[in-house]
Amino acid sequence: MEENKQLLEIASKAAKYAYAPYSDFKVGAALLTDDGLVFTGCNIENASYGLCNCAERTAVFKAVSEAKTNFKKIAVAVEDINKTVYPCGACLQVLAEFMYDGSVIISRNGVPEEIKVKDMLPYNFTLGEKNE
């Protein structure tokens, strides 16, 4: 799908802004809202590793801070779009909060692949019966 390819390209460009002096692993994300806006994010490291933030959560937090909470899909990429990266568990939990039925777009050998958040984290934490 052309939309997925475009989102991966935007995510790959966002990775260039990553602050990753410790790992040199630069990740970008492009989050598509239900109303067609795209919010980008990159990973941000810190000397105190527990204070780092992933690209996916950066994009989600930017969107939420702009009063957007309905998301359709998110693309995740490194600078070299041909490498495959997946969201970590913490990012999947945050994504499940806002887009349990939404999709994650990854690049597998340069080809966009779409995976549902609920398939990646079927037993996410909820405060009740929200996702059942």
Q: Which residues are part of the catalytic machinery?
A: 56
* Among 8, 1, 3, 6, CA closest to 81: 8
* Among 41, 100, 53, CA closest to 72: 100
Q: Is 71 exposed, middle or buried (0-12, 13-18, 19+ CB in 10 A)?
A: buried
* Among 70, 77, 84, 67, CA closest to 40: 77
Q: Give CA–CA dist 65/3, Å, rounded.
A: 24
* Among 76, 60, 80, CA closest to 114: 76
